[in-house]
Amino acid sequence: MIINWYPGHMAKAKRLIQENLKIIDVVIELVDARIPMSSTNPMIKSLIGDKPSVVVLNKADLADPAVLDEWVAYYKQQGRKVLALNSKGGKGVKQLISLVRSLAAPKLARWKARGLKNRAVRTMILGIPNVGKSTLINKLSRRSAAKTADKPGETKGKQWVHIGDQLDLLDTPGVLWPKLENQVSAYRLAATGAISDTVFDMETVIMQLIEQLSAQYPDELKARYKLETLCDKPLDTIEAIGRKRGCIVSGGVVDLEKTYKLILKEFREGKIGAISLDRLGEWEGED
């Protein structure tokens, strides 16, 4: 199964970003802390060029803390400004404002030196669908300024959101790249909700998810579903989970579709545990 998703509004979003970058002081690049590299749109690097930017590892509360620390260190080694935060809970949001202001300081100083009126920092938030852009904006503005939804692709136009007199935020639609060449990343994007549930095969994604969790987070998997042991085959583990949770149809057969949805929902909500699917060693040589 090839996972690929590029709705027409995303091509328009790319043009929108290019048109508005010239008036932006600082770019906030939002990625999912559980899958930092898989959720990075490779087009963004070329789009922003030398524009001051910060990588925000959002949903940090859902990620494995030890693995997250490794990713933060990695970005710093790459010379990037980086911050891990939880936009839903608000932890790290104030730090983000300070960091953005500091990145814009040289440009604002040049404005002041030319006798121009001091103004708010203009920043653009970029990222793929469902990494939490709207949630972050709402937390920054302390109001429901941007529409939020659990399904990807909800933000379809641009909107400015004013954060007091300090910050002007330009929200943009999430942008996936036209072809997802790395299907491991595609599965992880599907598992975390970045790709619409209607365009991938649930069975394939859950099989891969259970296989990875069995290898890297066996204790969390056993504890969540009260399993004594994990099976050698992902399907057998899935069936065991279905039986534990009562996902049974007539004849005592496990309702696999119901079990798939249960596992996916609980993974996305962090109920299985703090889990990171992207590991640094997989991406050696990437920049």
**pLDDT class for 221, splitting at 50, 70, 90?**
very high
Range in 16-20, 101-105, 247-251, 261-265 the model is least confident about: 16-20
**CA atoms of 163 and 121, how far apart (whole Å):** 10
pLDDT given for residue 143 in this prediction: 59
Please give the average per-residue pLDDT across 111-123, as a whole number: 77
Is it the case that residue 35 has pLDDT exceeding 70?
A: yes
**CA atoms of 238 and 131, how far apart (whole Å):** 27
**CA atoms of 233 and 207, how far apart (whole Å):** 9
% of the chain exceeding 70 in pLDDT? 83
Domain boundaries, the chain: 8-171, 201-283
Higher pLDDT, 41 or 175: 41
What's this model's pTM, rounded to 2 decimal places? 0.86
Residue 85's identity, in one-letter code, is L
Is it the case that residue 131 has pLDDT exceeding 70?
A: yes
Cβ atoms 148, 138 nearer than 8 A: yes
Please give the average per-residue pLDDT across 216-236, as a whole number: 96
The domain made up of 201-283 has a fold known as Conserved Hypothetical Protein Ylqf; Chain: A; domain 2 (1.10.1580)
**CA atoms of 227 and 246, how far apart (whole Å):** 14
pLDDT given for residue 180 in this prediction: 62
**CA atoms of 78 and 213, how far apart (whole Å):** 29
**CA atoms of 117 and 103, how far apart (whole Å):** 19
**pLDDT class for 147, splitting at 50, 70, 90?**
very low
E strand or H helix at 257 = helix 256-268
Distances 250 to 203, 246, 254, 255, 261 between C-alpha atoms, Å = 21, 12, 9, 9, 19
Q: List, for residues 180-201, the tens digit of each pLDDT value.
A: 667 888 899 999 988 878 878 8
Is it the case that residue 154 has pLDDT exceeding 80?
A: no
Cβ atoms 196, 154 nearer than 8 A: no
**CA atoms of 140 and 129, how far apart (whole Å):** 19
pLDDT given for residue 13 in this prediction: 66
**pLDDT class for 109, splitting at 50, 70, 90?**
confident
Q: List, for residues 57-104, the tens digit of each pLDDT value.
A: 999 999 999 999 999 999 999 999 999 999 888 788 888 988 998 998
Residue labelled with tokens 């949903």? 59
pLDDT given for residue 174 in this prediction: 62
pLDDT given for residue 165 in this prediction: 67
**pLDDT class for 4, splitting at 50, 70, 90?**
low
| Average pLDDT over the chain, rounded to an integer | 84
Please give the average per-residue pLDDT across 124-146, as a whole number: 76
> How many of the other CB atoms lie within 10 Å of CB of 258?
15
CATH number (3.40.50.300, 3.40.50.460, 2.60.120.310, 1.20.120.80) of 8-171 reads: 3.40.50.300
